[in-house]
Amino acid sequence: MSPELRPVYEKVLAGVRVSEEEALGLYRSQDLNGLAMVADVVRERLNGNVATYIHNLYINYSNVCILSCQFCAFGARKREAHAFEHTADEIVEKVRAGLNHGITEVHMVGGLHPSLPGDWYLELLRALRALSPDLFLKAFTAVEIRHLAERVFRRSIPDTLEELRQAGLGAITGGGAEIFDPGVRDRICRGKETAEEWLEVHRIWHQMGMRSTATMLFGHVETLEHRVDHLRRLRELQDETGGFTAFIPFAFEPAGARPGLQGIRYASAPEALRNLAVSRIYLDNFPHLTGYWISLGLPLASLALQYGVDDLHGTIQEEKIFHMAGAQTPRQQSVEALRAAIREAGREPRQRDTWYRWTDSEPVQTLAAQ
């Protein structure tokens, strides 16, 4: 281990929180193996030798969106050639088929649709909930929630979230966080909600006793300082609410970007691993760190289990957002492939539910299972 990492390593061994300045130093370190060693201390302390996955189904109900984020190849205006919109019946049948193959979670997001009525969302959630009492519905990003509250239901965010929960919503997703710095947001997603607005939605949801995930989109115009600032804001909210189950960073896909962001090189494997390791070290109050194989590819996601990662997300199926942006990874993985990738890294595979509780073994009283 390089000398500059040794003080942080000693702090982590002693259970002492690292500072923003130290996190920035970790990002600048060229000792990737040393970073892995430090991150592995945190992973082992929180989750032992277990790595998890979930058997889930991704649904993008529509990509019609009133925004035009510069990094996004997914969103579309209604008349654009790549615009799509699934009916509620189509979505229900997709999920019904998924249940026949053993899924336990639906992960559903879409664009900020200009004309779908509130009843459409509520009736869809109720119809999905009616399919199985064991099906967990994880849906909507913070910006979708704000859109529903302000433009569709015309109610407060707490009232909107409560109405969605009563209809069957079990968790909200972490999407839309991107990078919190306002200057960066102005360049990559002008018009999207601010960092404070994203955090507010998650704060309210957590105060309702519910859980969510958090994300970061890295590898575009942000600096290392911006990444640390992003992590700091997440750690502070987690200190306040304890409602985040996991952190899920993923790299910007330059192939499908709008002209202002084209020409950026895709984040390298070492950069992705470094970002994961630093995130694991700094976010000491997040119980789980996910290696998102849709972005990384499964081989690199398996390797990331040596860099602080303890979760490989899920089977996913039919992912559109990253693939419309140019991702070349598969659109789904089998349970067997995920378990094999976990075993290859020397970890013990366990299937989990949306709240990261193991579903294929007796529950254990550790932070990882709570």
Over residues 240-297, the pLDDT tens digits come to: 999 999 999 999 887 765 556 667 888 899 999 999 999 999 999 999 999 999 889 9
CA-nearest of 73, 90, 91 to 82 is 73
The pLDDT of 199-210, averaged and rounded, is: 98
Distance from C-alpha of 269 to C-alpha of 289, rounded to nearest angstrom? 17
Distance from C-alpha of 242 to C-alpha of 209, rounded to nearest angstrom? 10
Give the pLDDT confidence score for residue 328 in this predicted structure: 44
* Strand ranges (E), 229-329: 244-251, 288-289, 311-314
Is the pTM higher than 0.85? yes
Per the CB < 8 A criterion, the answer to whether 266 and 254 are in contact is: yes
Q: Is CATH 3.40.50.970 the right assignment for the domain spanning 6-369?
A: no
* Residue ranges per structural domain of the chain: 6-369
The pLDDT of 222-230, averaged and rounded, is: 98
Give the containing element (helix H, strand E) for 42.
Answer: helix 32-47
Q: Looking at 113-122, 171-180, 280-289, which range is the least confident one? A: 113-122
